[in-house]
C-alpha cells in the first residue's frame, strides 16, 4: 500500500449493511489468510431477517477491523444511463 499500512494475517473484519433507519440489513465477518485470501462468513443467514423484506434506502456499508477502525460507504442505487451508440462512422 502507498501509505505503508499493512493488514495483518488473521485480522478479522466485520461488514455491516444498514438502512437509513440504522437497521442492520446484513452482517458479514471476514478473516484474511495470506495463503487463502479472505474467508467470509455471512452472519445474517443464520437467523431470519428482522426487517421482513422492508429495506429503506440509502444503505450504508460499515467496515470495522479488529483495531476499531471504521470505513463507511453509502450505497446509492440508480438507473444506469444508456450508452449513446451511433451507426455512423467518421470519415
The pLDDT tens digits of the residues spanning 11-31 come to 789 999 988 888 888 899 999
Contact 61, 73 (CB under 8 A): yes
Which pLDDT band holds residue 4 (cuts at 50, 70, 90)?
very low
Instruction: Report if residue 85 sits inside a domain.
Output: no
How many domains, the chain?
A: 1
Coil, helix or strand at residue 33: strand
At 29-63, the pLDDT tens digits run 999 888 888 888 988 765 555 556 677 788 899 99
Instruction: Report if residue 4 sits inside a domain.
Output: no
Instruction: Report if residue 68 sits inside a domain.
Output: yes
At 60-87, the pLDDT tens digits run 999 988 888 989 988 776 766 676 665 6
| Cα–Cα distance for residue pair 25/59, rounded to 1 Å | 9
**Structural domain containing residue 30:** 12-75
Instruction: Report if residue 29 sits inside a domain.
Output: yes
Instruction: Report if residue 88 sits inside a domain.
Output: no
Contact 63, 14 (CB under 8 A): yes
Estimate the share of the chain in helix, then strand, then coil, as percent rounded to the nearest 5: 5, 40, 55
Instruction: Report if residue 70 sits inside a domain.
Output: yes
Instruction: Report if residue 31 sits inside a domain.
Output: yes
Does residue 3 surpass a pLDDT of 60?
A: no
Backbone angles phi, psi at 74, to 5 degrees: -100, 130
Amino acid at each position: 500500500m502507498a501509505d505503508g499500512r499493512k493488514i495483518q494475517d488473521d485480522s478479522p473484519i466485520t461488514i455491516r449493511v444498514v438502512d437509513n433507519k440504522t437497521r442492520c440489513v446484513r452482517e458479514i465477518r471476514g478473516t484474511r489468510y495470506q495463503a487463502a485470501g479472505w474467508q467470509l462468513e455471512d452472519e445474517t443467514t443464520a437467523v431470519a431477517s428482522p426487517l421482513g423484506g422492508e429495506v429503506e434506502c440509502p444503505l450504508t456499508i460499515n467496515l470495522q477491523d479488529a483495531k476499531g477502525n471504521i470505513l463507511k460507504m453509502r450505497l446509492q442505487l440508480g438507473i444506469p444511463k444508456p450508452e449513446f451508440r451511433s451507426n455512423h462512422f467518421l470519415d
